[in-house]
Structure 1
Amino acid sequence: MAIDLTDGRPWVLLPGTLCSGAVFDGVLAALGVAGAARRPLAMRHPSVEDYLPELRAACSPGAVVCGFSLGALVAAQLADRLPAGAFVLFGLNPHADDPAKRPDRQALAAEVTGQGGAAAMGGRLPPLYGSDPEGARRLILDMADKTAGDIVAQTGLALSRPDALPALSRCRAPVGLFTGTQDGVTPLALAQTAAAAAPEGRALGLAGLGHYALIEDPAACAAAVLRWQG
């Protein structure tokens, strides 16, 4: 790609289910993105269209839109309607939700509402990789507690989302898709499908990392972003 993602331009941040903007902190620090350039949005709306006004307000021309998991899906679905200079998406499943997942999603929402985010997520986390899995686990569960109040909206969003491939096919900005090679939640093949749909899409595997690669090894994720940029 031809733009410098670390030149001070805004980064609009869309975290995943039961995550806050803290999920991006390690990667952005490794990239040298200043705190003043970071614009995290809360995942508090139950439909994709609800995010469009807020994203348009935060996304000045040339901004980087960075999403993780559920947030990456929202970014991908709106990619053709935002004035972004680039999209950096981690752990994306670009397809509409599998109806078979509905009972488990609804059960998680009920458990989070009744028990709190950390208690509900403690036994549901996928395998964690990197040099400090326990540290990653603590951060994930801390975010889950802090964002537990958003789970009902996030569940509605996940269940109602449309397929993002048509929007990606109309996107003219570069789209980088990053997925851990050990990610069993959103396997690398899904990122490759999304990259094939986007005219300027490219998928990169994050060797030996899982779904929470951003937390498991922020430096490796940042290095992958820089490789894509170069």
Structure 2
Amino acid sequence: MAIEGLSNKPWLLLHGTLCTGAVFEGFLDALDVANSARTYVTLDRPSIEDYRMDFEGLANDTIVCGFSLGAIVAAHFADSIIADRLILFGLNPYADDPAKAPSRHALAQDVQTHGGAEALRTRLSGVFGPDPDTTRAAIIRMAEVTAPLIGAQTQLALSRPGALLALKRAVMPVLAATGTHDQAAPTPQGQAAAQSAPNGQFRTLDGLGHFALLEDPNTCATVVRNWQEALNEHL
């Protein structure tokens, strides 16, 4: 049964590095969100401020949902978004670790030289869920399509400030959800994000990794449904 407050509202969706909107499809289908209610933000600009326009003029009942780098962008505007809910999967709310710069540049170079699929093929060891092979194939397909965006996405990841201050000022309910096997954005990072928000909650996605939305979209949907039900009980 559709949960009031999830399926009947518009969604603004921000996907991650080398991802397309396909990363959200199974999850949104499980929540009965109509295709016409889904609006996607493409990460094709190199700085956080470049995305402010995407959050202006939203309907008050919009649910903003981000994954990985998209969650980072959304979190940075948590104090200025006028929306109904903010849902963040695989979020690292801190400024980028300078030690990651060499690997980020190496990935960007490989993508530009060999294409997104080939660059990621040897970098996908940490994939979990009931059918990791299918998940890997989906990740590789997305990477091939989005390869031209890697330059802007790399600069965006490297230059971002921390988002904890913005989350601290958020007025909407915030959910941070992280796979227990997520090595790209480990659970303490999601916990820190949720704890910063005045109305924040953290949920673990048991047995899943960074690509939890693809690994097990039904489990992700169940976690969000349960969170929504808990919010409804307090209304």
Question: Normalising by structure 1, what TM-score?
Answer: 0.96
Q: How far apart, CA to CA, are the structure 2 residues paired with 1:5 and 1:157?
A: 32
Partner of 1:221: 220
Cα distance in 1, alignment partners of residues 129 and 94 from structure 2? 28
Post-superposition CA distance 1:187-223 (Å, at most 9, x none): 1111110111000110000010011000000000000
1:154 aligns with 2:139: no
Aligned to 2:30: 30
Matched to 2:39, the amino acid is R
Give CA deviations for 1:133-161 in whole Å, capped at 9, x if unaligned. 00000100000001111000000000000
Long gaps (5+) in structure 2: 230-235
Give the letter for the 2:48 counterpart.
Answer: V
Q: Which position in structure 2 is the counterpart of 1:195?
A: 194
Name the SS of the counterpart of 1:147 in structure 2: helix
Offset at residue 41 of structure 1 (A) = 1.1
Q: Give the RMSD, CA atoms, in angstroms.
A: 1.1
Secondary structure at 2:119 match in 1: helix
Structure 1 CA distance for aligned equivalents of residues 88 and 157 of structure 2: 17
What is the one-letter code of the residue matched to 2:77? L
Equivalent residue, structure 2, for 1:116: 115
Deviation at 1:55, TM superposition (A): 2.5
d(CA) in 1 for partners of 2:114, 2:7: 43
Q: Find the counterpart in structure 2 of residue 172 from structure 1.
A: 171
Q: Compute the displacement of 1:109 (Å).
A: 0.6
- Cα distance in 1, alignment partners of residues 113 and 90 from structure 2: 28
Match of 2:28, SS state, is: helix
- Aligned pair count? 227
Q: What is the aligned partner in structure 2 of residue 46 from structure 1?
A: 46
Aligned to 1:73: 72
Q: Which residue of 1 aligns with 2:101?
A: 102
Q: Aligned residue for 2:19?
A: 19
Letter in structure 1 aligned against 2:104: R
Does the 8 A contact of 2:7 with 2:31 survive in 1?
A: no
Shift of 1:8: 2.0
Q: Which residue matches 2:8?
A: 8
Separation in structure 2 between the aligned mates of residue 134 and residue 67 of structure 1, nearest angstrom? 24
Partner AA of 2:218 in structure 1: A
* Structure 1 unmatched ranges of 5 or more: none
Secondary structure of the structure 1 residue equivalent to 2:79: helix
Asked if the contact 1:126–1:211 (Cα under 8 Å) also holds between the matched residues in 2, the reply is no
